Each structure stands twice: as structure tokens, then as C-alpha cells.
A and B are shown apart, each in its own frame.
Chain A
């Protein structure tokens, strides 16, 4: 699974999936390609940022949907020329894209810097608070959105069709997948993993621990912003409800379903989630056991409880366990029980 062995089974599977996704519009139904798979790619992209932070940095973030939302809102505000809500700045669309990504990245940097000295469960709670406060911000501040959100947003020129948007989502997903995996092998990525495993030792070796965490968080925020742009083009609108606490949890759940320490898991989880939300009602007999589309959240919640009870590694972890691939994998530690050294530190205090 590395660049040193380009023809390893893992890489071949990834390549096959990519080729399949590229030729899918030729034979797939319009609904499946333009609605289901595009959404899978967008959600997978956002969930991959959670996976990146969790697996490389040991930080479980619930703020990623907020960054997607910020990018979407900023694009809507900057690009629209007229409309009842928002700033309607009427900038050229690609300038608006740059503006949205810049704002998202700066906000991610500031929030990351604020949270960079907290870890573990504290970080999870803090980012949840970021997400909910962000929701209230967009719901209350009518200058940029208000409860109704910003509507009738269109994608800029080459992407303003269903199939081009699908290809953009696939392309970005592939790029981000490769980039995240490559970052794990750079000096920065290695230092980040050191920070995850033993911040005290890294600090005494001279690494700036909070700064590494901040940079990782900023990068993840930027990528989440990319997915937010795709999302706002896909939906044509964005409202605060789409970044409320429910969808925030769903995004984490997507990352967890797939396996929070494997990048593939992000898109796999998104596929399971979107697939279930679109096709669950068409399964025979599910109505009989009381599972209707209205109770979809119950189903998703129960699936996550089940996965977390069986294996915190998610679907990829369960599959890997079956084949014994996990032997000594250092990445598979983000949700594992604390190591003995951590426990000792905790008790020796």
C-alpha cells in the first residue's frame, strides 16, 4: 500500500475503482450517476478530512461540515448578483471560489490555533461547539444568510452541468485521496504522527506541537471547503439547517462507518450512507419490520452503535480483520484504548 510498491493489491484495487468511476457515466443510469454517486464523492471528500485528522493527527473533529458550510455560504454571498438574501456581491464566479476558499482556510487556521492545545475528547467537544456555534451564526446573522439560507446558486462555467460536476467530484476525490496519503509520508506528516503518538516527546525534540496541529486542521478545513463548494453547486442552495448538529453527526458517522483510520473508508462510508438513504425504501419487507424512510436516522444510528460495539475500525477494519491485513498497522490506533503509558501517566499524577 505505498508508492514503493506501485503494483500492490491495494493500489490496483484503487486504480480499478477510479477507472470504473470514470467510465460509469457511459452505462450507469442518470439518477445513479448524477445524484447518488456525485453526492457520495462530495460527502466522501468531507469525511476524508475527518479521517485525515483522526488518523494522522489523532484529532477527531466535528467542525468539518462547518468549513464546508462556510465555503458554500461565502461562495453564494460573493457570486450572486441579485436575490433576497445574502450580500449579493456579484463577483466573477472563479474569484468567488478563491474568496470562499480563502475565508474558509483563514477561519480554519484561527479555530485550529484556538484548539491546538487541547486533545482527545476535549478536542471533540470543542469542535462540536465550533460546529453548533457556526450553525447559530448563519441562522441568526441575516446579513450573510439567515434561517432561509442562500438560494439559486449555480456552478461556474465549465462545471455547470450534472456530468461535469460528477467528474469534478471524482477528480477532486482522487486528488485528495492521493494527496492525503502522500502527506502521511512527508516530513510534516511524519512529525504530525509523532505528535499524535507522543506530544510530550515531540515537544522536547523541538517540534512545535500546537503549530503542527494547527496546520493539519487548516489543511483539513481547506479540503472540507472544496467539498462545500461542490456541495453548494450540487444542491444549488445552502441553508443553515444543512450544517446543524444532525448533519454534523451524520458526517462523523460516515467517517466512522467506513473506518476512521482508512482514507478509502470515507468514500465507502459515504456510499453506504447515500445508498441506504436512497434505496432503503425499495428493499422488500423493510416496511414490515417498522423501518420506514421517516425513521431513517434510527437505522443509521443503530448501524453506528453496532459498528462501534463490534469494531471501532468500521467497515474497512472489519474487512481487514477478516483478511489479517491489520498486522502492526500503526495507523489503526486513533480510537483504540489508551496505551499503557498513557494510563500510567494518568494514574501517576
Chain B
């Protein structure tokens, strides 16, 4: 979406400096390359005493970890692309994105239970593809409609006041979290993948679940649809134009208010889809909303707020780090894996304060 990726453009905050200063300025870049090289060498050859072991000794485990990372990145992309789509066009940071995610997950779980006719111990064999797809669509639709209602009631009239909008949506997320706790209780519920996709297969001596590949496939379909929508339809063209120059689009007589509502619908729909996929992948519980708001934020901070390309890049980087850090940290220190997420964030921000594909405000 964000096609004009600037290379070495100097902003006014970085005036021309003498040679020594420019070396200092390139230090972060050198540091990042060094850190990447060290990480690669560690994973490939040195990682003894970790739960996975060096990749040259155990390539199967390495492959599994890569697959874990990429499939998780698929889920991350579905959720974060909705977040970044909304921001890209409207400059609205929707802090209730995680709440929409969780609400959709809960609704889909309830609906699936009703469709299967059991409330507990649902086996994958009980679940047909329809029992998964219908709750997915219904959950996502509820999230999308709620999203549009929030946008029309709370965000439409204060367009452009980013912090005010962020605080309003934060407060709404507090209310939604409390109401969901009342409605669905504090226990973790989980959605069941449909039977036809729940198998295991052998790959390089390791068992791997097809449901994770299914999740990746859904994410790819979503990504493809989003790309087609944004690049091949008139509405997508208007949205891309709106991202670049909203007042001009308005001046050309296009009903941008309608486009805003549609974009919010799609963004919230993606949060809802992600919620159902996440509920099938790891269950839904109180607190998932905060965790997935964090995930979306990390992805868009890494990738650049408002850029779909950035959402892809951010999801892949973050997904890979999340998958590799528990496997390739020394076994006694695996609980430090959250630190690596932070290191990733710090590395990206040190070189590009607005994310990989982001533009300064």
C-alpha cells in the first residue's frame, strides 16, 4: 500500500554532519547487521544446550521451528493487517482491536458449540468444515459491525485527533473486556479445527500438524484477497489514494466518509477472523485481547504503521523470533524469550524509528 519507500532521505531533524558524525550515525546499521550475523551463527552451529540444538545437527527441528514461525506469522498478519489498514487511511489507532479479536473468538466458540451440539470435549472428528467456517464468518461479521458502530459513534466526528481517538478506543476496550468477562466468564475456551484439516504428517523425521498449515493457507487467502481488493478494484484505488492524500480525494467528489466506514468494516472483520483463528490455535480467554493488541502493535511498529507490506514484513520477523527464541535459547534461560521480542523491536527502531516501511508523520 505504501509504495513510496524512501531510501536515504534526510529529514530536517538530521542536518548534514561532518564525517565522524556520519560514522556514528551508521553505527546502528552496523550493529543490526552484526546482531543478525551473530544470531544466524548461533542458530546454525553453536546452539548447544538449547532445546533444539544447532541447526546443522538437527535440520528437522530447525525446519519445524521455521514452519512454526511462518504459520504464526500468518495469524499475526491477518490481525495486524486490519489494524494497519484502518490506520493507513484514517490515522486512527484502534486500541479496541484486541477486544474485537477476543469478542469474535468467544462468539465463534459459542456458535460452534451450538452447531456441534456439545459444550465440552468436542473432538476434531465431530467438527465438519461448515462447523468451523460458519462461526468464523459470523464472529468476524459481529466484530465488523461493532467496529463500524464504534467508528460511526465515537470516531467519525473527531477525525484527525489521534491521541483523543486512541484514548477513547482504549476506554472502550476496558469496557468491552469487562463485559466479556461477565458474559463468557474467566475460563479459557477453545475453538476446534475442523476434522478434515486435523492430521499429522511426517517431515524430516518430525511430526507436524496440518491445522497450522491450514491456518497459514487461510492467511494467504486473506492476504491475496486484500491485495486484489486494494490493487484491482475502484474502492481499493480510492483507499490507496486516500492514504496518500485524503483532502484531494475528498475534493474530487468521492464520498470518503463511506470509504472510511467500509475500511473500518474490513479492518474489524480481519480482527474478527484473526480472533476465530486465534481461538482455534491457542484458545480464547480474558487477557487475550491485551496480548493480541500487543501483537498487533509490535507487528506494525516493526513493519511501519499504515503499510500492508510492513504488516507482512513485521509479521514474518516477529513470528520467526517468537518461534525461535524458546527453541534456541539455552534451556535454563527460555523464560527470557520475551526479551528477544524487545531486542527485535529495539534493533528495528534503532535504524528506522518509524518501522521498516513506515513514513514519518
| A residues in contact (CB < 8 Å) with B | 60, 114-115, 117-122, 124-126, 128-129, 132-133, 136-137, 140-142, 199-200, 203-204, 209, 244-246, 249, 252-253, 256, 294-298, 300-302, 304-305, 308-309, 312, 334-338, 343, 346-347, 349
Q: Which residue of A lies closest to B179 (CB)?
A: A298
Q: Which residue of A lies closest to B158 (CB)?
A: A337
Taking A124-B93, A129-B301 as contacts, is the C-beta distance between A305 and B172 under 8 angstroms? yes
Contact residues of B between 323 and 343, Cβ < 8 Å to A:
335-339, 341-342
- A305–B354 touching, CB < 8 Å: no
- A141–B160 touching, CB < 8 Å: no
- A140–B338 touching, CB < 8 Å: yes
List the A side residues contacting B15 at CB < 8 Å: 203-204
Please give me the 10 A-B residue pairs with the lowest Cβ-Cβ distance, nearest first: A301-B175, A301-B174, A304-B171, A117-B353, A245-B290, A297-B178, A140-B335, A136-B338, A121-B162, A298-B178
List the A side residues contacting B297 at CB < 8 Å: 125, 128-129
User: A336 touches which one: B161, B248, B339, B354 (CB < 8 A)?
Assistant: B161
- A141–B175 touching, CB < 8 Å: no
- B168–A301 touching, CB < 8 Å: no
Taking A133-B342, A302-B175 as contacts, is the C-beta distance between A244 and B160 under 8 angstroms? no
| B residues in contact (CB < 8 Å) with A | 12-13, 15, 91, 93, 154, 158, 160-164, 166-168, 170-175, 177-179, 182, 245-248, 287, 290-291, 293-294, 297-298, 300-301, 305, 335-339, 341-342, 345-346, 349-350, 353-354, 359, 361
- B93–A141 touching, CB < 8 Å: no
Minimum CB–CB distance from A63 to chain B (whole Å) comes to 12
Taking A136-B338, A335-B161 as contacts, is the C-beta distance between A114 and B349 under 8 angstroms? yes
**CA A312 to CA B160, docked complex, whole Å:** 14
Q: Give the interface SS of chain A, mostly helix, strand, loop or mixed.
A: helix
Taking A125-B297, A133-B338, A297-B175 as contacts, is the C-beta distance between A120 and B163 under 8 angstroms? yes
User: B166 touches which one: A121, A297, A334 (CB < 8 A)?
Assistant: A121
**CA A125 to CA B12, docked complex, whole Å:** 24
**CA A301 to CA B176, docked complex, whole Å:** 9
Q: Which residue of B lies closest to A116 (CB)?
A: B353
Q: Which residue of B lies closest to A295 (CB)?
A: B178
List the A side residues contacting B300 at CB < 8 Å: 125
Q: Can you name 8 A-B pairs with beta carbons within 8 Å?
A: A114-B349, A118-B354, A120-B163, A121-B163, A121-B361, A301-B178, A309-B168, A346-B361
Q: Which residue of A lies closest to B336 (CB)?
A: A141
List the A side residues contacting B175 at CB < 8 Å: 297-298, 301-302, 305
List the B side residues contacting A126 at CB < 8 Å: 301, 349
Taking A115-B349, A118-B353 as contacts, is the C-beta distance between A203 and B167 under 8 angstroms? no
Given A137-B338, A301-B173, A301-B174, 18 more A-B residue pairs with CB atoms under 8 Å apart are: A117-B349, A118-B354, A120-B162, A121-B91, A125-B297, A140-B335, A141-B336, A199-B13, A200-B12, A244-B287, A297-B178, A298-B179, A304-B170, A335-B164, A336-B161, A337-B158, A338-B161, A347-B245
Q: Which residue of B lies closest to A137 (CB)?
A: B338
